[in-house]
Amino acid sequence: MGASEARPLLEPLIYDLGAPGRIGVNLPEPDVPETQMPAELLRDDLALPEVGEVQVLRHFVKLSQLNYSIDQGLYPLGSCTMKYNPKVNEDAARLAGFAQLHPLTDESGAQGALYLMRELQQWLGEISGFEAVSLAPAAGAQGEFAGILMIRQYHIDRGEGQRDIILVPNSAHGTNPATVTMAGMSVRELPANDQGNVDMEALHAACEGELRDRIAGMMITVPSTLGLFESTILDVISTVHEAGGLMYMDGANMNALMAVVKPGELGFDVMHYNLHKTFSTPHGGGGPGSGAVGVNEKLRAYLPGPIVDVIEEEDEDGAPLYGFVMPEKSIGRMKAFHGNFGMHLRAYAYIRVYGDSGIRDVTRYAVLNANYLRAKLMRTYTVPYPRYCGHEFVLEGHVDNVDEVHALDISKRLMDYGFHPPTNYFPLIVPEALLIEPTETEVKEDLDAFVEAMEAIAEEARRDPDTLLNAPHTAPVRRLDEVRAVKELVLCCAPALPAGAG
Amino acid sequence: MSYIPHTPAETEVMLAEIGVRSIDELFEAAPATHRFPTLDLPPPMSEMEVAAEMLAISEANDHGQDYAIFRGAGAYHHFIPSVVNHILLRGEFYTAYTPYQPEVSQGTLQATYEYQSMMCALTGMDAANASHYDGATSLAEAITVALEVTRNKRKKVILSHAIHPQYREVARTYHQGRDIRIIGDRGRGEVVDLMEMIDSNTAMIAVQYPNFFGQIDELSALAEAARSNGALLVVVANPMALSILKSPGELGADIVVGEGQPMGVPLGFGGPYLGYFAIRQKHVRKIAGRIIGETQDADGRRAFVMTLRPREQDIKRERATSNICTNQGLMALSASIYMALMGKNGLRRVGELNYHKAHYAAQAINSLDGYSVDMSKPFFNEFVVACPRPVPEINEALLTEGMIGGYDLGQHYFHAQDHMLVCVTEVNGKDEIDRLVEVLGGLS
Amino acid sequence: MGEWKAPAELKYAESDEWLAVAGDIVTIGITDFAQDQLNDIVYVEFKDPGDAVEAGGSFGEVESVKAASELYSAVAGEVIEVNSALEDEPEVVNADPYGAGWMVKIRASSLAGIEGLMDSAAYDAYCDSR
């Protein structure tokens, strides 16, 4: 390994392909009389490529071949839940009745879509123990934003607008503190104890000290971003509630909780779901996501809208009539229209396939797979926190007595073994963290192959660390010069048009 | 067990490796008082059954295969070349994650870089990000950028009344926790009125191009008024209209945002779409969301990587200006493929088809008794029709004739009772348009 | 000791800024240790001249490829000058943190914040301890 000849050829930029006058699609001739267009409004030129259909197709096929994906193999990216994305869901999403449905269709003409959304709202509420669910948020981060805005408004309406502090553990996803700032509130970070749980002493100090009247709530991930069930979670919830704050659960790790506990029953007031994690909607190379939010009775009236409700009850004439409603004190719209419906229908199909008993198994086997990998990898790597994990676990990405090898090097070397690396350097509180999440859809043989690769890499680290330091050797490119990317800042390759054009 | 591959024998081996007797033991840290609730969900379904159910649900909707659609208002029914969907269905693209590991994500990275480049060409801007959730959230994020560019010293944001009503609602949702004032959208929406509102406390002014009523406003004077007051001009533009119209960059915009759905993304009941976001180079570090840049690998080969990373929430945490993480990557890929296929010549031709068909329809409707079309300003593919009857009544009649009529403007604008916003695109054939005119004529 | 430079005539904050005091004018930059930790500095942004700064408050921000750090002023006062040359050449902070890499000058309304700062020996020890 190491020869760059083994690497695939890179693909030229789309702007470097084609020839003047070429076009990639057959378009119809106008079938109506043409109308004179006002020349002063028109652009002189449009700097788009000029490429034929076959060439465009091959360009993107070749680009696709430079990617790694779940469809190719294990993608154990912690906190991202890279599970199999069922193909039948993709077929469903492309049905004309969904794909060609205008979002502003009169409600009577969208009863199928509204029924589906209403069912999904109910199911998500049932899975997490919440009274009401809105599917409006477009992604997890937007669900968080909605949740914190609801908490803010709840306090304002009770005459407690001075409550502006949200407690956030230091192991939290970056979206949590960023969300708090976006909502115009303040973050107070809480340390973790040596068990990886919230430090209860620090929590009590925050909730019972001079800031007590400013505590608006707390955001916490369950199981924690370390993949651990917080054994003190009920104490955490009651401590914040006693201070007058509300509890937000980051639902990114819901794949470890289904039919294990219902967050609403634990006492959480609001949480978001990541449909693109737990409920198998594809990640799409960075999106789209979908970040439904569930709430209890306290926050029900504040949900972002619109949500689907029954407008006219079922009678002898037939089915009920579904429609969109804005909750009474809604914090408002998160995006235009009604959320990422294409993700709703995939999540619907996913839950429908598994049903009551199967959803329970999703979590059970996700946790089984994670603990199996953990048990096997503990022999070679340091695994902090000596207890069973949830659906993911963190190990320290270094090898004893080989100081120059870091988590990043192990990650890059995994690519040569045909695996996507785990999440690097998150959570921030574990040095050289590698966060590993196999998900339930991975078969034992592949888990074993991953363990063997990790063992082989540890052996290489001792024998020939340069192999790791220079990895990857077989990926389409070697490690990148990120400093150059920032300093040169080349963000666009469209040819600049002469002044006055374009 | 659906998509779970474990056999009972394998499960036993795995449990033994872990050192437990049952899977239940792995959950001992979950609070015992609440552990293992039952889920009241329907029973499992086979793939065959779920496919049939999804088809049945989908057919309970009035969709574009059964109806001619003359409704736009922020979501547009355009032709999507087959190549787009075939590429989107490649698992290498749609089952990949965010390209945090660039060595094995060059496909996503390069395609996104090309998307950014083509959006720059369309908008006349220098840089674009990898997308926001939709056009409305792009506008909301543009407000944050404008506040940052003016260093949070200015407290006034002007949004034209002729921006999509839902976009303005989203802007207010996003900024409800901030000490700023959002004004301008209760007036007439005329550019001259907006110009008078700009002062030294104004961070930005936003207009839509073409505006929500389909009309093309003259923006150069507004750009000058913004510039002379140190405020930013944000233009919310329909990218399809930019196929033929002067770019907002040429007209003096500082930020151009909008809904990318017309570029290869199906109607899909409102999402997932993509919010594009393009900006002048000098403000590029203020953008939220992912940005792809060109660089080299250790062998000096050209490669692409997510850049300007410290702006983002995972690094900057509570000091980040936005919490955005997930974007609309796959939809940006759709737009990228669409723009590559259409290219310089095709996109212009599609734009022209939209223009000609919409004008053909507008002229015919305008000549009907009882109807009048507002022709006071130029328009692209949408126009406002004053109707002789309430819009819902007209739409009900159109529906029975296999047509989804225009959008009822009276829902949002009290002075627009009985006004319908009609959209005509390249997919509407002459026969459909003639039929629309005929049915409308019968309702005068 | 002494892996990173820390000139004796300056004062040092725990947040790794140095301060040079001349009457009520305080010049601030980041230390050799800080620039080394950040690695390639690619961007700086400061408050504007005329802006007020609180004691312990932020006067700007510095970014490397993978990190962003807030810059803090130990003294309260008004920003009177910023080193705008750094906007185009932020790498000067890496090359010459105590000279051409200075960042802002503040006219202090109170020098009370200076008392809590470290001298170079204490700062050396502080760097070594991390």
Closest by CA to C106, choosing from C45, C43, C35, C46, is: C46
Please work out, in degrees rounded to the nearest 5, the angle formed at the alpha carbon of residue A219 by the alpha carbons of A217 and A222: 135
From the list B284, B318, B340, which residue is nearest A51 (CB)? B340
The reported pLDDT for the residue numbered A3 is: 44
- Confidence check: pLDDT of A501 > 70: no
The reported pLDDT for the residue numbered B39 is: 97
What does the alpha-carbon distance between residue B100 and residue A421 come to, in Å, rounded to a whole number? 10
Residue pointed to by tokens 């109806």 = B67
Q: What is the mean pLDDT of residues B426-436?
A: 98
The reported pLDDT for the residue numbered A497 is: 56
The model's confidence at residue A341, banded by pLDDT at 50, 70 and 90, is very high
Q: What is the mean pLDDT of residues B252-276?
A: 98
Q: What is the mean pLDDT of residues B165-194?
A: 91
Task: Note the maximum CA span of chain B.
Answer: 83
Token pair of B171 as six digits: 């802007």
What's the pLDDT tens digit per position in A124-136? Answer: 999 999 999 999 9
Q: How many CB pairs under 8 A join A and B?
A: 707
The model's confidence at residue B1, banded by pLDDT at 50, 70 and 90, is low
The reported pLDDT for the residue numbered A194 is: 83
Distance to chain B for C66, nearest Cα, Å: 6
Q: Structural domains in chain B?
A: 68-80+344-441 (3.90.1150.10), 83-338 (3.40.640.10)
The model's confidence at residue A195, banded by pLDDT at 50, 70 and 90, is confident
Closest by CA to A436, choosing from A446, A448, A422, is: A422
Give buried/exposed letters for C43-57 (b at 16+ CB in 10 A, else e).
bbbbbeeebebebee
Token pair of A287 as six digits: 């999106």
- CA closest to C40 among chain A residues: A483
From the list A104, A138, A343, which residue is nearest B73 (CB)? A104
- Confidence check: pLDDT of C80 > 80: yes
Token pair of A271 as six digits: 């949480």
What's the pLDDT tens digit per position in A221-268? Answer: 999 999 999 889 999 999 999 999 999 999 999 999 999 999 999 999
Token pair of C113 as six digits: 């914040």
Q: Structural domains in chain A?
A: 105-352 (3.40.640.10)
The model's confidence at residue B413, banded by pLDDT at 50, 70 and 90, is confident
The reported pLDDT for the residue numbered A419 is: 97
C66/A486 Cβ within 8 A: no
What's the pLDDT tens digit per position in B394-412? Answer: 999 999 999 999 999 998 8
What average pLDDT is seen over chain B?
96
- Confidence check: pLDDT of A57 > 80: yes
Chain C residues within 8 angstroms (CB to CB) of chain B: 43, 47-48, 63-68, 70
The reported pLDDT for the residue numbered B411 is: 87
What does the alpha-carbon distance between residue A445 and residue A462 come to, in Å, rounded to a whole number? 26
Token pair of A376 as six digits: 């096997």
Helical segments of A48-199, H only: 53-64, 87-93, 96-99, 111-128, 140-157, 175-182
H/E element, A395:
strand A393-396
Q: How many residues does chain A have?
A: 502
Q: Do the strands B127-128 and B275-279 form a parallel or antiparallel pair, or are they unpaired?
A: antiparallel
A70/B44 Cβ within 8 A: no
C43/B309 Cβ within 8 A: no
The reported pLDDT for the residue numbered A376 is: 98
H/E element, B56:
helix B47-58
From the list B285, B310, B319, which residue is nearest C66 (CB)? B310
What does the alpha-carbon distance between residue B37 and residue A269 come to, in Å, rounded to a whole number? 18
Q: Which of residues 283-312 of B touch C (CB under 8 A)?
A: 285, 309-311
What's the pLDDT tens digit per position in A431-462? Answer: 899 999 999 999 999 999 999 999 999 999 99
The reported pLDDT for the residue numbered B79 is: 98
Q: Does C40 touch chain A (CB under 8 A)?
A: yes
Helical segments of A23-102, H only: 53-64, 87-93, 96-99
C42/A486 Cβ within 8 A: yes
Q: Does C65 touch chain A (CB under 8 A)?
A: yes
What does each C-alpha distance from A438 to A75, A371, B30, B166 come to in angstroms? 7, 10, 21, 40
Q: What is the mean pLDDT of residues A351-358?
A: 96
Q: Does A487 touch chain C (CB under 8 A)?
A: yes
Amino acid at A349: A
Domain ranges of chain C: 11-110
What's the pLDDT tens digit per position in B66-120? Answer: 999 999 999 999 999 999 999 999 999 999 999 999 999 999 999 999 999 999 9
ipTM over 0.90: yes
Residues of B in contact with C90 (CB under 8 A): none
The reported pLDDT for the residue numbered A6 is: 66
- Confidence check: pLDDT of B414 > 90: no
The model's confidence at residue A167, banded by pLDDT at 50, 70 and 90, is very high
Q: Which of residues 111-170 of B touch C (CB under 8 A)?
A: 151
Q: Residue B137: which residues within 8 A CB-CB, separation 6 or more?
A: A138, A142, A334, A335, B170, B174, B275
Q: Do the strands C57-64 and C41-46 form a parallel or antiparallel pair, or are they unpaired?
A: antiparallel
Closest by CA to A260, choosing from A106, A386, A367, is: A367
CATH topology of domain C11-110: OB fold (Dihydrolipoamide Acetyltransferase, E2P) (2.40.50)
H/E element, C110:
strand C104-110
What does the alpha-carbon distance between residue B74 and residue A18 come to, in Å, rounded to a whole number? 33
Q: Which site among C39, C44, C63, C70 would you substitute to test the B interface, given the most B Cβ atoms closer than 10 Å to its Cβ?
A: C63
Residues of B in contact with C68 (CB under 8 A): 310-311, 315-316, 319
* DSSP class of B417: T
Query: Are B116 and B127 in contact, with CB atoms under 8 Å apart?
Result: yes
- Confidence check: pLDDT of A2 > 60: no
Residue pointed to by tokens 């983002």 = B312
Query: Are A397 and A434 in contact, with CB atoms under 8 Å apart?
Result: yes
Closest by CA to A281, choosing from A441, A123, A82, A15, is: A82
- Confidence check: pLDDT of C2 > 80: no
Q: What is the mean pLDDT of residues A161-189?
A: 96
